[in-house]
Amino acid sequence: MQIKKNYSIQPYNTFGIAARASRFAAFGDVQTLAALLRDNQHEHKIILGGGSNILFTNDFAGLILKNNLKGIELLRADDQYYYLKVAAGEPWHPFVQYCVDHGYAGLENLSLIPGLAGASPMQNIGAYGVEIKDVFYQLEAMRISDQTLHTFSREDCQFGYRESIFKTELKGKYIILNVTYRLLKKPILHLEYGAIREELEKAGIAVNTTTPTIKEVSEAVIRIRRSKLPDPKQIGNAGSFFKNPSIPIAQFEKLKMEHPTLPGYPLTGIGSNEQIKVAAGWLIEACGWKGYRDGDAGVHARQALVLVNYGHATGAEIYALSERIINSVENKFGIALEREVNII
């Protein structure tokens, strides 16, 4: 349980920001985590997973605890479902590939998303018509204040668009240890989002009652994401920097008259105050930011939703760029963008 001082965290964040932590320790089991929390109760601390959804704007004056919990376990199966438990420190994409290879259906649309499994319910990750809440069963977490273990059901997690109770009411109060997913024996494919169907047809795969397989869907998603999103190993980034905003239908219809190509997707189940989700990337591109660069901080040339570090940008510089983008979009469209990335 060695604690390292004045430790570089540049290798632990996908933006590649050259920040340092006052103190840094890793944990690979629950007992070590409990001891670290107990022995450092009054120190400011954060849990670091894959570092793929975080922007360090300064050095961190406190203790960073790196999650290295590992393990995948099939708990049980019934006529319809597999119940699969994954430790929070398992890398997300290899876990999805494990499920695909074993015929556990439901996560194939979430292929190639960076980060660790423990972050998946925290922000209800989603892509191509699938969100974590669709396949989530339960999770186990440790309460930081007293190191007790607690189980959270789907309802307990209060999932919303890219959020959960762990980003709101319980933010900073629990550490997710493992997540159990309820995955399908008989796949229900989601092919109507993005360019999945077109990508499958381009590969010569027929779309009918027996095809494609979940592996073919996963491979199509991987090809699409690689064509649109930069590899953090080559250009520092944290994927989508902003959430897709939701606006009232009346506001969307007014904007649509002025901007006919503005894409929108109706949200259901929200009563009389029906909302339309609009594409943040489209809004940012329409404001002229796509491909913009200021020093080493920039907006990706193929996807305006992604802010990038071309080498030596500071977190403060990337944050300042995000502020300029938010102000620009609000001035032009009257829509306030929210950051999806956690700012430290």
Query: What DSSP string describes 191-248?
Result: -SSTTHHHHHHHTT---SSS---HHHHHHHHHHHHHHHS--TTTSEEEEE-BPPPEEE
Query: CB 198: neighbour CB atoms within 10 A?
Result: 12
Higher-confidence residue of 50 and 21: namely 21
Chain-wide mean pLDDT for the chain?
92
Residues 201 and 93 grouped into a single domain = yes
- pLDDT score, position 1: 63
Instruction: Answer whether residue 270 shows pLDDT above 50.
Output: no
Query: Quick check: 6 pLDDT over 70?
Result: yes
Query: Looking at the structure, do residues 153 and 243 belong to the same domain, yes or no?
Result: no
Do 62 and 76 fall into the same domain? no
Poorest-pLDDT segment among 173-177, 204-208, 285-289 = 204-208
Distance CA 28, CA 50 (A): 14
Q: Are 315 and 263 in contact (CB under 8 A)?
A: no
Asked about 240 being catalytic, the answer comes back as: yes
Q: pLDDT of 317-344, one tens digit each?
A: 999 999 999 999 999 999 999 999 999 9
Beta bridge partners of 152: 139
What pLDDT does residue 268 have? 60
Question: Choosing from 90, 131, 140, 340, which is the catalytic residue?
Answer: 340
Catalytic annotation present for 340: yes
For residue 257, pLDDT beyond 90: yes
Work out the average pLDDT over 225-246. Answer: 90
Q: What is the mean pLDDT of residues 226-248?
A: 90
pLDDT tens by residue, 92-140: 999 999 999 999 999 999 999 988 999 999 989 988 889 999 999 999 9
Q: H/E/C letters for each residue in 26-48? A: EECCHHHHHHHHHHCCCCCEEEE
- Domain limits for position 79: 72-205+217-222
Q: Are residues 290 and 183 in the same domain?
A: no
* Interhelix angle 92-102/214-228, nearest 10 degrees: 150
Mean pLDDT, residues 165-179: 94
Encode pLDDT of 198-215 as tens digits: 889 888 888 876 779 999
* 35 and 95 co-located in one domain: no
> Which two structure tokens, joined as six digits, stand for 142?
């440790």
Distance CA 162, CA 159 (A): 8
Q: What is the CATH number of the domain that holds 15?
A: 3.30.43.10
Is residue 17, in this structure, part of any structural domain at all? yes
Number of domains forming the structure of the chain:
3
Kindly state whether residues 9 and 45 are assigned to the same domain.
yes
- Inside any domain, residue 231: no
Same domain, 56 and 96: no
Residue 292 pLDDT > 70: yes
* CA 247 to the chain's CA centroid: 22
108 as an active site residue: the answer is: no
Which candidate in 111, 164, 240, 322 is catalytic?
A: 240
Domain boundary among 167, 195, 222: 222
CATH number for position 336: 3.90.78.10
pLDDT of residue 33: 96
Q: 31, 52, 67 — which closes off a domain?
A: 67
Q: Which listed residue (162, 223, 225, 339) is catalytic?
A: 162
Residue 179 sits in the same domain as residue 139:
yes
- The last residue of a domain, from among 222, 254, 283: 222
Please name the amino acid found at residue 51: G
With 50 as the cut, is the pLDDT of residue 144 above it?
yes
Smallest Cα–Cα separation from 171: which of 122, 124, 215, 219? Answer: 122
Residue 132 belongs to a domain: yes
Instruction: Tell me which amino acid residue 26 is.
Output: A
